[in-house]
Amino acid sequence: MSSRVVTSFNAGEISPLLIDRVDVEKYASGCLRLKNMLVMNYGGVRRRPGLEYMGAAKHADKECALVEFEFSTDTSFMIEMGEEYFRFWTSAGQVEDPGSPGDPLELASPYQEEHLFEIQVAGANDVLYLFHGSYPTQKLTRVADDDWTIEEVAWNWPAFLAENLAATTITPSATTGSITLTASAATFESSHVGSYWRISHSRPTGYINLAISGNGTSSAIKVLGNWTLNTYGTWLADLQIEQSYDNSTWTTKRAYHSESDRNISDTASENEEIWLRLKVANWVSGASSPHARLEVTDATHRGLVKITGYTSTTVVSATVVTALFATSATVQWSEGAWSAKRGYPRTGVFHEQRLVVGGTDHQRNTFWGSVIGDFENFLEGVNDDASFSYALGSNNSNIIQWMSSHSDLLIGTSGDEWRVASSSESPITPTDVRCRKQSAYGSDYRQALSVDDGLVFIERKGRTIQEFTYSFEQDGYVGADLTLLAEHVTYGGIKDCAFQQQYDATLWFTTNEGALASLVYDRKQNIAGWSELLTGQDNETPDSFEAVAAKYGPSTASDEVWVVVRRTIDGSVVRYIERMDPTWRETQDAEDQNDLFYVDSGVKFDMGSLQTVIDDLDHLEGCTVQILGDGSVQPTRVVTGGEITLQTAARYLSIGLGYESIVSPMPQFFETQQGNTAGRKMQVSKVKVSVYLSRGFFVASDEASANWFEYFSRRTSDPTNAPPPLRSDQCEIVVGAGWQERGTIAVRQTYPLPLTVLALVLLVDAYGK
């Protein structure tokens, strides 16, 4: 007989393919099964918290996704994204329509059910940009907590394809307003409706002059891009450059003064079209024919239109966004880069004060950076703050799948991963960029998750999770397979993902099989422990986790993990939005048994006084629910008519669906006088379970055992009129386990109570050779 000690479980659940690989470094701290338990950095495992019922999704028969909206650590929302709608949630519940109290605030959106989990977002303050390759980029804006808007981004200046090189001309019918564009050859398609086009004309003159011979004002000139100002002669006066957006209302842009002792040479660039003119004021004298000249560097005037209707391949209607220069036919035109015809940006991120977007069906590996500080302006130029566009120099046309901002801009495509930066430590500019391939894993079309100083992304087959971090040794980013020891946890493929920063940094993944996989992740401590979370009344056919997201929680609690669960309630399919109890650790550590919450789709009640009949349980109609009343486990009840009757009156209640939690360490092999026990029959006869603030659990030889032995927490010294206290102790249980091929043990919790296992001491016999 030998005593075996298991002191750590933080390698998490390990693949069954490694069941006998005792030579693997993580084997000793791994688990054969870790169900509805969460790894702790310290080595132990804790029962996962219950799921609080927040409300029903809009559609029971259609999926919805979740995305967090975080303005600050104390102002955050969860957005329910369903087919053609958005709804909003806070930690307190669903946001109501101020114009119709009691009804949820809802916005119409363009997104269809099949695309919801592919939407990627980039947020800045009260604005969230939403990207998908099949939809125009949308902008969600929070005006107030109960006032939101969503609209297609009206680009100040979008990106364009290369300028026309053929002889085909386009003739606009007018320079402003609603116009018609007529092409000299087949150019347009119906899918061009909604697209932007740049219509350019050469200026007959690219400058304005003003004599400095008295007070006066010059004519105006449209400017988009670079301009220069020079003065000549000798003059005593004030000279101003005035600007206008409508050629009517003018303001001073720059001002100069000369005491007959200087001439001016100045230059600048305009990232949006404006009118400029010169003005002389406070004139005193002048000699040598003094004058000023403002000259537009680019002799081409560029106007912007948006196509609103299709007539034929040569005729479309359009709205002028930026006034055109003339109505004459011109070969100088460019088609917009983003449209239903060419596809829309698939992903976007804020990086170095720019909005960077990337990947369309037409330009698969191209990315664009906005003007610095002007996120909806993609006017290209040579100045450092101008917009830019680059194509990754890959041998294959792999489409961009995600982008992430770190010290460098990181880009994942369907075939490889890239690092984008300037050639120095300076920000990326239109004339200074380096795109360097880092790896060739390839990515799925899901948003990458920023984790500490690196990121995590899903490989292109949807099964493998790759860590991507900078290596000083290799002077580049390297990957590491986070599913290498637990390939089974992503069976069926990954559907959704989220990252919870506090308390223990945890990655969450829903699978197409309906499971929720948890990865407690601390690279600095070499901790990456997987566990599987299941929910529902029937362990054989559990309900399905479909979506997951995480947002800031209350300042004293953990970050909040929200899920969408597909359940079968009273014979009907429903979809509920639920939240993991964010105060579970504080409640357990404070030993506040009235507030323990270990049920799913559950509700907490403070009845104010002792009550027997509990209602407001309509969402669990026909379900068998577990009950914790004033810290005591009560017999289960079936919800009928939205209510239950307790066996014992209680004030503080947690009521919901029960779930099973199991921790089972890897099989125990060890050396004896007869050699290693591998291949020999083994029997675990006694177990000491080291627990922390736990109550009531079971032990058996393995998860499939029909004989579970319960550890009773109540002791003779405990008061009989109150629940037994939570125990932090070594709890010894005699296990009537038979002889096994491997030495295994399992600890289970099925009551609505906490269980934290810190270590196991197993008494094991072995026989045979």
User: Is 1's pLDDT higher than 70?
Assistant: no
Work out the pLDDT band at 381, boundaries 50, 70, 90. confident
Between CA 90 and CA 460 the distance in angstroms is 33
User: Is 471's pLDDT higher than 70?
Assistant: yes
Q: End-to-end CA distance of the chain, in Å?
A: 15
Between CA 108 and CA 44 the distance in angstroms is 46
With b for 16 or more beta-carbon neighbours within 10 A and e for fewer, the 222-237 pattern comes to bbbbbbebebebbbbb
Hey, which CATH number is domain 63-154+342-492, 2.120.10, 1.10.3470, 1.10.260, 1.10.10? Answer: 2.120.10
555 or 420, greater pLDDT: 420
- How many other β-carbons are positioned within 10 Å of the β-carbon of residue 355? 26
As given in the structure block, the two tokens for residue 189 are 């398609």
pLDDT in tens, 253-277: 999 999 999 999 999 988 777 899 9
Average pLDDT, stretch 283-300?
91
User: Is 543's pLDDT higher than 70?
Assistant: yes
pLDDT in tens, 591-648: 999 999 999 999 999 999 999 999 999 999 999 999 999 999 999 999 999 999 999 9
CATH topology for the 207-298 domain = Jelly Rolls (2.60.120)
Work out the pLDDT band at 539, boundaries 50, 70, 90. low
586 or 681, greater pLDDT: 586
The pLDDT assigned to 259 comes to 95
430 or 553, greater pLDDT: 430
Closest CA to 582 of 92, 70, 80, 75: 92
pLDDT in tens, 299-347: 888 899 999 999 999 999 999 998 898 999 999 999 999 999 999 999 9
Work out the pLDDT band at 745, boundaries 50, 70, 90. confident
Phi (first) and psi of residue 434, to 5 degrees: -130, 125
**SS3 state at 627:** strand
Q: What's the mean pLDDT when you consider all of the chain?
A: 92
The pLDDT assigned to 396 comes to 84
> 36, 660 in Cβ contact below 8 A?
yes
Closest CA to 750 of 595, 537, 551: 537
pLDDT in tens, 489-516: 999 999 999 999 888 899 999 999 999 9
The pLDDT assigned to 328 comes to 96
Give bridge partners of residue 572 from the DSSP assignment.
569
Hey, which CATH number is domain 2-47+661-767, 2.60.120, 2.60.40, 1.10.10, 3.30.720? Answer: 2.60.120
User: Is 352's pLDDT higher than 70?
Assistant: yes
User: Is 538's pLDDT higher than 80?
Assistant: no
- In the chain, what percentage of residues exceed pLDDT 70? 96
The pLDDT assigned to 673 comes to 54
Between CA 31 and CA 45 the distance in angstroms is 10
The DSSP symbol for 192 reads: G
Between CA 629 and CA 656 the distance in angstroms is 12
User: Is 764's pLDDT higher than 80?
Assistant: no
The pLDDT assigned to 617 comes to 98
> 353, 192 in Cβ contact below 8 A?
no
Question: Which residues have a Cβ under 8 Å from the Cβ of 296 and sit 6 or more positions away?
Answer: 203, 206, 207, 221, 223, 225, 226, 227
Average pLDDT, stretch 458-478?
91
Average pLDDT, stretch 536-564?
85
pLDDT in tens, 162-210: 999 999 999 999 999 999 999 999 999 999 999 999 999 998 888 999 9
DSSP state string for 10-75: TTEE--GGGTT-TTSTTGGGEEEEEESEEE-TTS-EEEPPPEEEEEE-S-SSS--EEEEEEEETTE
Torsion-angle region of 492 (φ positive above 0: left; ψ -120 to 50: alpha; else: beta): left
> 143, 105 in Cβ contact below 8 A?
no
The pLDDT assigned to 671 comes to 56
Between CA 358 and CA 365 the distance in angstroms is 7
Closest CA to 145 of 78, 83, 80, 59: 78
pLDDT in tens, 49-84: 999 999 999 999 999 999 999 988 888 999 999 999
The DSSP symbol for 336 reads: B
Q: Find how far residue 369's CA is from the centre of its chain.
A: 20
Phi (first) and psi of residue 523, to 5 degrees: -65, -35
Between the CA atoms of 313, 317, 323 and 328, what dihedral angle is there, to the nearest 10 degrees? 50
Average pLDDT, stretch 681-689?
80
